[in-house]
């Protein structure tokens, strides 16, 4: 398994919508393993394929690792089919280092897609798992968590980013 380079904002690949996975083959399985290794190495709770420069609708996630009992989960072509309620959660992102912000998300969601072998999969989630799934699916849709915060907070982050770039 390889550790893949994580794309950092404003890399344009992060803003593109990923394409549905049509071919489940050995190459995809190796890629999923590399994504998992990258997520754990970072460390993160989730990773979307476009965060490592690939525009296939693939996410890996593991919220159980926070409790010391890792449980890697993989979803191909995930889509939110139902949601309810509201939660505000402080989010960060591997593609937006050194920045967190409170983001409004759905409290409970139902996500449909396929597991790594192509079998239909449906996940009902709430709390942190719901937040992670929404965050990663946003990535696949070319959306970042900073797109969900106020214009003022986003402006502060973008000014910080420009200042860091000028200092390099």
Q: Give DSSP secondary structure letters for the chain.
A: --PPPPP-TT-GGGGSPPBPP----HHHHHHHHHHHHHHHHTT-SEEEGGGGT--B-EEEE-SGGGGT----EEEEEEEEEEEES-EEEEEEETTEEEEEEEEEE-SEEEEEEE-TTS-EEEEEEEHHHHHHHHHHHHHHTT--GGGGS-HHHHHHHHHHHHHHHHH-
20 is catalytic: no
Question: Do 51 and 141 form a contact (C-beta atoms < 8 A)?
Answer: no
* Residue 163 in this model has a pLDDT that exceeds 80: yes
From 154, 144, 159, 166, select the one nearest 11 (Cα to Cα).
144
Domains and CATH numbers, the chain: 12-167 (3.90.45.10)
Residue-level pLDDT at 144: 97
Q: Cα 42–155–136 angle (5° rounding)?
A: 35
Q: Say how many residues make up the chain.
A: 168
What is the average pLDDT across 124-151? 97
* Residue 158 in this model has a pLDDT that exceeds 90: no
* Residue 117 in this model has a pLDDT that exceeds 80: yes
Please list the residues that pair with 72 across neighbouring strands: none
Burial class (CB in 10 A: 0-12, 13-18, 19+), 148: middle
* Residue 54 in this model has a pLDDT that exceeds 90: yes
**Active-site pick, 84, 91, 136, 167:** 136
* Residue 116 in this model has a pLDDT that exceeds 90: yes
What is the average pLDDT across 128-155? 96
What is the distance between the alpha carbons of residues 85 and 106, in angstroms, rounded to a whole number?
5
What is the distance between the alpha carbons of residues 42 and 5, in angstroms, rounded to a whole number?
10
């Amino acid at each position: 398994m390889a550790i893949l380079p994580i794309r950092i904002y404003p890399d344009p690949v992060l803003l593109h919508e990923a394409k549905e996975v049509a071919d489940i083959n050995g190459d995809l399985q190796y890629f999923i393993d590399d994504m998992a290794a990258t997520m754990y190495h970072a460390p993160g709770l989730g990773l979307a394929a476009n965060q490592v420069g690939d525009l296939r609708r693939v996410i890996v996630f593991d919220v159980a690792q926070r409790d010391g009992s890792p449980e890697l989960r993989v979803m191909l072509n995930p889509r939110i089919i139902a949601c309810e309620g509201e939660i505000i959660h402080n989010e960060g992102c591997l593609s937006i280092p050194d920045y967190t912000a409170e983001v409004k998300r759905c409290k409970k969601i139902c996500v449909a897609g396929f597991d790594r072998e192509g079998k239909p999969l449906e996940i009902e989630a709430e709390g942190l798992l719901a937040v992670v799934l929404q965050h990663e699916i946003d990535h696949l849709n070319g959306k970042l968590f900073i797109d969900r915060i106020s214009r003022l907070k986003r402006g502060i982050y973008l000014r910080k980013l420009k200042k860091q770039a000028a200092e390099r």
